[in-house]
Chain A
Amino acid sequence: MSRLVSPGALRLLAAGILLGLCPAAAGETDNSCIDCHTSLADKRLREPAVASKEDVHFRRGLFCHSCHGGNPARGYIENVPALAHSPGDGWQGVPKAREIPDFCAGCHGDVEYMKKYNPNLRVDQLLEYRSSQHGKLLVQGDEKVAQCVSCHGVHGILQAADSRSPVHRSNIPGTCGHCHADPGYMRDYSISTDQLAEYTRSVHGKLLLEEGDAAAPACNDCHGNHGATPLGLTSIAYACGECHALNRDLFNQSPHKAAYEEMELGECITCHGHHDIEKTSDEMIGVGDESMCITCHEEDDAGYHAAKFMRAQLDSLVAIIEEAARLLHRAERGGVDVKAGKFDLQKPMSALIRARGAVHHFDPRKLAEIVHPGIAQARIVEEVGEAALHDLKMRRVGLAFSIPIILLVALGLYLKIRRLESSPRSR
């Protein structure tokens, strides 16, 4: 993020202000950097100091001078603020964008040093970064690309687990999109800028950004963090397969694996897309207009028939489950208990879920092994539903039996009254 003012100008400005305006007394912290800078009028000099209070480094006792060098103590003791900036004390000032990765890696790449603070933290970020597209371009002199502070921030850095951090998982799409979704900024590069928009619409984006589901992938889960690269053809399948392992395994056993390799097609993304992955539906299988299969398969080739058959199997399972559920619902509405039926309906529903995954085998026979038992199980539920409806009918029969009896009794009473009152004695 090299939108900073050029470091040289900054040094000049700082010196001028320090010489003129900085108060010399000790403040709330024992850190003269913070005390001095937070009272400066210039926002650009004040804000880093203000933000630093929350900074993860600050909280571990690593203050301004830990990165910038210099000696804050001299700012108080000798009452000459400029001495805090003395190059003799290692004052480095503001690093250039090009220098930042090495600057940060000075500590973060030092195993022994980092062990003191958190043995679990990785120390190979610089190595990864150098391998990334960002890293390669930076070395060549392109200062527009991302380096450490572009994503992590510079003062007020928060840990990735902190939801306010720009590298917290729910914020990552926005952080990457800050550049990658800005067509103006990206005009010198030959990559598209619609990834963020596509991702936000996608099933992963909705899960992460709307539902807050931490299981959903953000940019870094597929592209990597520091070693961010566009994915190669084979690595795409591995990336998807990290979570979607079952589908990956099935696909690898399917005839598509060899075919895609030969045709140099991306494995998962050819049908599912990459940033704009939509919720799957049965429409994707088969030979209909919406299906993926007809993209490659021509009418009457083996794959065409297989697709048609598989779709037909899924459809028949869905149809019989829906019919069974409908029967149960009708019975329930009529007042008959259908608990047993609902229990049994879980089996064919499980079969349907497994079948939809098993599609990735692209083998109708293997699919049939799951679908046929599912259909049989759904048939059983249908029978339960029919029995419940039969119960309902029996109630109607009971009603048809009792109502005439009641009417006949009423009629008999009426005739009895007439008989009684037609005889003279009742007058």
Chain B
Amino acid sequence: MKPQPRKSARFYPWLDERLGLSAILEVARHKQVPQHQHSIWYYLGGMTLFLYLVQVVTGILLLLYYRPTAEAAFESVEFIMSEVPFGWLVRSIHSWSANLMIFFLFVHMFSVFFMKGYRKPREITWISGALLLFLCLAFGFSGYLLPWNRLAFFATKVGTDILGEIPIIGGFLLEWSRGGQEVCGATLTRFFGIHVAILPMVAALALSIHLVMVQKHGMSVPISIERSGKPIAQMPFFPNFALRDAIGWTLTLGLLVLLASIFPWELGQKADPLASAPAGIRPEWFFLFSFQTLKYIPGKIWFINGELLGIAGFGLGALALILVPFLDRRAQRNQRGKLVGAIGVVVLIYMIVFTVLGFVAE
């Protein structure tokens, strides 16, 4: 009699019959990653994804103790930092990982941009990615307020003030985001709902589209390499690329643990709506370049309000970012072109310079 496979070996076929796992695994087994001089950048998307997952896990853990009201939010974070076992670790990892995630997200976006990975047929991948960028910035902005400390309170006030400057819809946006006219307990509750429910839901959707598209179309290869005609070396995703990914993820985990232990995230003082703003209020670093730009724009340019012009500029910039695949005609035709890349370099330098200025300028 044929020996029966062990119980554990019978488990996989049982699942496969019901979930169709083997089809998925077949696809996975054949997934290839192109290898060329620029393929080092391919790791960045996965890094960002890893950090996002860290945020989800640590965020859910924090949810077990956090209280989203003006009376209790600060104290609950203080409680997490001091009384909850390893609370300090979870909270500091969450804060550090948020910043690292946004950093890697920007690097990932710029690398895809310069490699023109947005050209046909990957336009939807790009658009979902741009959407993910805005969602993550919204995650950062909404999450920053949640500890309800002084810095965050005023940063939120300034940020929503700027929202209010947008013509026509500005007033509505300001009231809707603040849950009232002023930044208050209602704002906190609202930001909390946005941060833990609305944004995760939308991000899950955008992320699914983004990842499915990446699986469907594979990694894009720079135009020059594609047109050179030479055969492009390929590396199997499983296990080779995946293992390399894993090294990156492991080392990033180590970095997070190190940062959380040596540079624990500060809590500061509880927000006091009646107190005056402390000197040197600024938004988080990833908003700094735009904040600094708005500071430099003169009050009036011609007859238009300067700040309004600045906001319009950024709005247009965001729109341009989403529409890059359609604006870069040469890339659409798979032709090499220097213009779009050059614009990207200028934008990158501008963002870096103004971020640095935001830190060092008075």
Contacts and interface: CB of A to CB of B under 8 A. Distances in A.
| A touches B (Cβ under 8 A) | yes
Interface of A: 334-337, 339, 395-396, 398-399, 402-403, 406-407, 409-410, 413-414, 416-417, 420-421, 426
A409 B246 CA distance: 9
A420 B89 CA distance: 36
5 contacts: A399-B258, A402-B257, A406-B253, A413-B250, A417-B247
Interface string B82-93: 110000110010
Interface in B70-89: 78, 81-83, 88-89
B250 A410 contact: yes
A406 B250 contact: yes
A334 B264 contact: yes
Contact of A414 (B78, B247, B264): B247
Given A406-B251, A413-B250, A420-B243, A337 B261 contact: no
A417 B236 CA distance: 12
Contacts of B253: 406
A420 B261 contact: no
B261 A395 contact: yes
Nearest to B250: A410
Interface of B: 78, 81-83, 88-89, 92, 236, 239-240, 243-244, 246-247, 250-251, 253-254, 257-258, 261-262, 264
A417 B247 CA distance: 10
B239 A420 contact: yes
Contacts of A409: 250
Given A406-B251, A413-B247, A398 B82 contact: no
Contacts of B264: 334-335
B81 A406 contact: no
Contacts of B250: 406, 409-410, 413
Contact of A403 (B239, B243, B244, B258): B258
Interface of A is mostly: helix
Contacts of A396: 261
Nearest to A395: B261
A398 B253 CA distance: 14
B240 to A, nearest CB: 7
Nearest to B266: A335
Interface of B is mostly: helix
Given A395-B88, A402-B257, A406-B253, 17 more contacts: A335-B81, A336-B88, A399-B257, A399-B262, A406-B254, A406-B257, A407-B254, A410-B250, A410-B254, A413-B247, A416-B243, A417-B243, A417-B244, A420-B239, A420-B240, A420-B243, A426-B240
A406 B236 CA distance: 25
Contacts of B88: 335-336, 395
Contact of A339 (B82, B89, B257): B82
Nearest to B252: A406
A410 B254 CA distance: 10
Contact of A337 (B83, B236, B243, B258): B83
A410 B252 CA distance: 10
A35 to B, nearest CB: 52
Contacts of B246: 413
Nearest to A421: B240
A59 B122 CA distance: 91
A336 B243 contact: no
Contacts of A426: 236, 240
Contacts of B240: 417, 420-421, 426
A140 to B, nearest CB: 60
Contacts of A336: 82, 88
A421 B243 CA distance: 12
Contacts of A410: 247, 250-251, 254
A336 B81 CA distance: 8
A419 to B, nearest CB: 10
A21 to B, nearest CB: 59
A390 to B, nearest CB: 15
B32 to A, nearest CB: 13
Nearest to B245: A413
B232 to A, nearest CB: 15
Contacts of A395: 88-89, 261
A403 B243 CA distance: 19
A351 B82 CA distance: 29
B163 to A, nearest CB: 33
A102 B257 CA distance: 88
- Give 3 nearest A-B pairs by CB, closest first: A337-B82, A335-B264, A406-B254
Contacts of A416: 243
Nearest to A411: B247
A268 to B, nearest CB: 41
B160 to A, nearest CB: 30
B247 to A, nearest CB: 5
Contacts of B243: 413, 416-417, 420
B93 to A, nearest CB: 12
B254 to A, nearest CB: 4
A414 B258 CA distance: 21
Given A398-B261, A403-B258, A406-B253, A337 B81 contact: yes
Nearest to A426: B240
A344 B264 CA distance: 26
A222 B92 CA distance: 60
B76 to A, nearest CB: 14
Contacts of A414: 247
Nearest to A402: B257
Contacts of B83: 337
A395 B88 CA distance: 10
Contacts of A421: 240
Contacts of A406: 250-251, 253-254, 257
Contacts of B89: 395
A396 B263 CA distance: 11
Interface centre among A335, A403, A406, A409 (most CB of B within 10 A): A335
A420 B235 CA distance: 12
A396 B92 CA distance: 14
A403 B81 contact: no
Contacts of A399: 257-258, 261-262
Contacts of A407: 254
A399 B247 CA distance: 19
A417 B248 CA distance: 13
A335 B88 CA distance: 7
A414 B253 CA distance: 16
Nearest to B88: A335
A138 to B, nearest CB: 55
Contacts of B258: 399, 403
A337 B81 CA distance: 8
A336 B82 CA distance: 6
